[in-house]
């Protein structure tokens, strides 16, 4: 019962906060477009640190409703890889995000999901693509790529 009320309140706030935002608005400020929506949900569920509650919002229905929204799928995948749960669904969302919008951030998320799944070969490919595409976070992507290479060398040495 509490979970249902929490979900309803969060979704209501979410709809009210995002209803006034045109989807073609540039990504500046706090809540702009759908990426702002997924960031809003992720931020609030992270604060509560309740995976069960997050699953109620960021569950299978979330992905089904947003299969055409690369930013929402990327936020969903990033959230779940950070929780180290629901990784199969996170992988599906990350792959679809890359397919819809092949940006460096999407490849970074895909790499992170693969790392959590211990599929280092695929993680390396995605991380290299994130570095190749560059962008404002390219230095972060390079550091992650270097860390992944070191991890793979360590695993090969064992």
pLDDT tens-digit readout, 52-105: 666 677 776 787 888 888 999 999 999 889 988 889 989 999 999 999 999 999
Calculate what percentage of the chain has a pLDDT beyond 70: 63
Q: Is residue 134 scored above 60 in pLDDT? A: yes
Query: Is-contact 108 131, C-beta < 8 A?
Result: no
Half-sphere exposure for 18 (CA within 13 Å, toward CB): 19
Query: Residue 109 phi/psi, 5° resolution?
Result: -65, -45
Contacts 24+ apart (CB under 8 A), 127-130: 129/102, 129/104, 130/104, 130/105
Question: Which tens digits make up the pLDDT trace of 104-118?
Answer: 999 999 999 999 999
Where do the domains of the chain lie, and which CATH numbers do they carry?
2-19+32-157 (1.25.40.10)
Reference 50, options 10, 21, 20, 17; nearest CA is 10
Q: What is the pTM of this model?
A: 0.66
């Amino acid at each position: 019962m509490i979970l249902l009320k929490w979900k309803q309140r969060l979704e209501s706030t979410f709809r009210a906060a995002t209803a006034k935002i045109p989807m073609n608005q540039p990504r500046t400020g706090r809540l702009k477009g759908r990426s702002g929506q997924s960031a809003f949900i992720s931020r609030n569920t992270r604060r509560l640190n309740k995976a069960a509650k997050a699953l109620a919002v960021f569950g299978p229905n979330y992905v089904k409703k947003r299969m055409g929204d690369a930013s929402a799928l990327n936020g969903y995948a990033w959230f779940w890889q950070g929780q180290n749960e629901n990784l199969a669904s996170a992988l599906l969302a990350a792959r679809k995000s890359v397919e819809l919008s092949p940006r460096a951030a999407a490849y970074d998320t895909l790499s992170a999901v693969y790392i959590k799944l211990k599929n280092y070969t695929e993680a390396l490919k995605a991380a290299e693509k994130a570095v190749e595409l560059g962008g404002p976070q390219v230095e972060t992507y390079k550091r992650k790529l270097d860390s992944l290479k070191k991890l793979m060398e360590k695993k090969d040495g064992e």
